[in-house]
Chain A
Amino acid sequence: MAMTDVPETSKQDKRRSIGEPGALRRLGSNLLDTPSAFRKSLVRHGQPTSDRAKSQTVFTNFFLHILSTRTHLHSIKAATTLGLGVATMMLFIILCFTGVLLMVYYKPSVDLAYASMLDIMHVVPSGRLMRNIHRWSAHGMVACVMLHMARAFYTAAYKKPREFNWVIGMSLFVLTLALSFTGYLLPWDQLAYWAVTIGANIAQSPKELTDALGVTAVFDIGRFQKELLLGAHYVGQEALIRFYVLHVIILPVAISILIALHFWRIRKDGGLVRPSYADEPMDGSASQHATASNEPGPAVIKTYGLMGLMKGKTPAVDREMRNTITTWPNVLYVIGAAAMLTTLAMIVLGVLYDAPLAEMANPAVPENPAKAPWYFLGLQELVSYSAFMGGVGIPAIVVLGLALMPYLDREKEDAGIWFSGRQGRRVSFMSAIFGAAVVIGMLAFTVRFGWLRNWEATARIPQIVITFFNPGTVFVAIFAVWSVVVVKLTRSTRMGAIALFTCFLVGFAILTYFATVHRGPNWDFFWSHNDWPVH
């Protein structure tokens, strides 16, 4: 279409001499041409029918230029990413969309917040559905971020040159949790009030440490954090406004900037991670190369950088086009399918299940049990032994440990393979069993025999021991030893990393399950919800 335009344009140019008669007629024909002229100014390349035009479509479009013009076939296979990144992004978009709609009616005031929630639930047209979708998408986003992290980890996508993008991913994980936590207070119901009271006191818990060291008078970081978070010494109007500001503007803006950086880095790092055999011709002869060493084959020595901006050996001259397809429309179909499936799942959940809303917040009577949202329940189990280690120390160690993963494991083995092959699958399996045994054993022990304060010999030990000797500290120590043993036995830091990550994943899952199902009033152990005392 673009080609056939050429003679027409030259004709128009000839007509466009000033002072010639017939200007009125030209105006008329211009008016008739306006729709097509407007369309051509909007989309400056022709119909995306040829490969070149398809590339142009992606390259010149502001919204699509985050994608490359051609995409490797490996990147759009379902097993490569499971669509988790796209799902997370889509959930964030849904959350922004429904969140802004909810803001129209929600009033961040202690006196009005709960009433506006009731309005949204019972009076506002489609308010209940929007709130339900918002709540389930928030849970979904936390779940997808975690699963996406596990996918990136098990396919070794954190390896060079993607180390820093893994660190950005960790920041995004923390910001996602912060968004969920700040949003949790806004309904101003009993669950929200007491979960956030507990959260704010966890922020204050470094006081346990400074008290034990006797430096609280000069360096009270715990008090500082709590006052900064709440603007008071209790959860009240000041806290509600602070959480609201964080939830609707500061954190969403911060997370958007990091998401943009995260995506941009994916492009600059050469797209999604893929194993070297993915670049072999897909005609069956690939298998003999798949097991080859880390060195690239002889055919791909000649490389160049794209405008001097790209590092590394992508794109290599001889294989840059091999096994790739045009992004338009193939990759857009895949992304669209993942995004639509995510949206559909959230709408179905929102129609079927109502987001919970307890009674209005009552600062005099704690909810019993006051349970945090599911992704914090594992930590809540740990804070029930000691607040500082369970709520600050262990999460900090875990987040820091995860962020350092790419710098501690720098083996240059083939990335992009799930579990890095058969040995990794075995290590994952063994570590899952080991981690489960340790965590279940420990929980069974504390339920049956109690912890330090329950025993005659240790009931009066100093607080500093109780603060640090948390069952969680024991897990972390055992898992660290286990992964060092794995490094020693397999002579591979990657295997050690897999062992550690698997243990933490399993530990997180079991603690979350345990606190959700088996903890009841007074944080006592119950086999099921039916055994809870009636009061």
Chain B
Amino acid sequence: MTQTKSQLESSERFKPKASRRDFLGIAAAWSAIAAFVMAMLGAFRLPMPSVFPESNSQSKLGKPNRFLEGSATYFPKQNLWLSRSQEGFHAISSVCTHLGCIVERDGEGEFSCPCHGSKFDRAGNVAGGPAPKGLVWVDLSISPEGWLVADTLKETKQGTYLKV
């Protein structure tokens, strides 16, 4: 009890008190920063759409009997080639997997991209150029009224044919 004030301040027991005050200040500052970051994350959630303008991605392509066996029909609005073969219907997207240009289909049924020279075989497999993967096979189904329906946002496995 005979310690002077300066002795007390220089003692080991005094130091943690000062750092507790620092701790409160630092904690307050970090709380404010965390609150700000969370608020900003909430605000910047806004530009991430939860509903896409093309949400209604299903479209009727026509009645199945409109398409002859061995035919390939292009649907420019849906960006897909609808083919009918012995196995059934299948639809291949014409959007290049490289950078999104529209591929052209030649007489052989092979695809080539005008932008950077990617090439794809009849089944959409990569045959050359920079494309990272094959053309997408678009999901096909038959509506209750008997229409052939394509869902352009739904991918299906290559080699999936729709039998009618």
Contacts and interface: CB of A to CB of B under 8 A. Distances in A.
A126 B112 CA distance: 44
Majority SS at the chain B contact face: loop
A238 B49 contact: yes
Contacts of A524: 117
A130 B100 CA distance: 33
B117 A523 contact: yes
B54 A227 contact: no
Interface stretch (B3-11, B61-69, B124-132, B143-151): B124-132
Given A387-B130, A387-B132, A463-B132, A369 B114 contact: yes
B102 interface: yes
A198 B132 contact: no
Interface residues on B, range: 20 to 34
A236 B99 CA distance: 16
B99 A232 contact: no
Contact of A466 (B48, B76, B99, B130): B130
A211 B54 contact: no
A194 B47 CA distance: 23
Contact of B114 (A233, A368, A387): A368
A346 B61 CA distance: 52
Contacts of B115: 194, 198, 366, 368-370, 522-523
Contacts, number: 94
B74 to A, nearest CB: 10
B101 A228 contact: no
Contacts of B100: 197-198, 200-201
A223 B155 CA distance: 15
Contact of A370 (B76, B101, B117, B126): B101
Given A231-B47, A384-B116, A201 B153 contact: no
Contacts of B54: 232-234
Contact of B53 (A208, A232, A384, A466): A232
A403 interface: no
A209 to B, nearest CB: 10
A455 B77 CA distance: 36
Interface in A371-416: 383-388
Majority SS at the chain A contact face: helix
Contacts of B154: none
A201 B98 CA distance: 8
Nearest to B115: A370
A224 B45 CA distance: 12
Contacts of A459: 128
A364 interface: yes
Contacts of A45: none
A370 B113 CA distance: 11
Contact of A237 (B53, B76, B99, B113): B53
B99 A387 contact: yes
Nearest to B102: A366
Interface string A175-202: 0000000000000000000100110111
Contacts of B77: 364
Tell me which of A201, A232, A524 has the highest count of chain B C-beta atoms within 10 A of its own C-beta: A201
Interface string A197-220: 110111001011001000000000
A523 B116 contact: yes
Tell me which of B54, B102, B115, B153 has the highest count of chain A C-beta atoms within 10 A of its own C-beta: B115
Contacts of A365: 102
Contact of B130 (A197, A231, A233, A383): A383
B116 A383 contact: yes
B101 A197 contact: yes
A383 B48 CA distance: 27
B114 A366 contact: yes
A522 B114 contact: yes
Contacts of B101: 194, 197-198, 366, 370
A463 B97 CA distance: 13
A453 interface: yes
Interface in B49-101: 49, 52-54, 76-77, 79, 98-101
Tell me which of B47, B48, B79, B114 has the highest count of chain A C-beta atoms within 10 A of its own C-beta: B114
Contact of B99 (A202, A228, A242, A521): A202
A383 B112 CA distance: 17
A383 B99 contact: yes
Contacts of B112: 522
A463 B99 contact: no
A154 to B, nearest CB: 35
B120 to A, nearest CB: 12
A464 B48 CA distance: 29
A473 B10 CA distance: 61
A233 B132 contact: no
Nearest to A200: B100
27 contacts: A200-B100, A201-B100, A202-B99, A208-B132, A227-B48, A227-B49, A227-B52, A228-B48, A231-B52, A233-B52, A233-B153, A234-B54, A238-B49, A366-B101, A366-B115, A370-B114, A370-B115, A383-B99, A383-B116, A383-B130, A384-B117, A384-B130, A388-B132, A453-B129, A522-B115, A522-B117, A523-B117
Given A205-B99, A228-B47, A370-B101, 20 more contacts: A197-B101, A198-B115, A201-B98, A201-B99, A208-B132, A231-B52, A232-B52, A234-B54, A242-B47, A368-B114, A369-B115, A370-B115, A383-B98, A385-B130, A387-B98, A453-B126, A454-B128, A466-B132, A522-B115, A523-B117
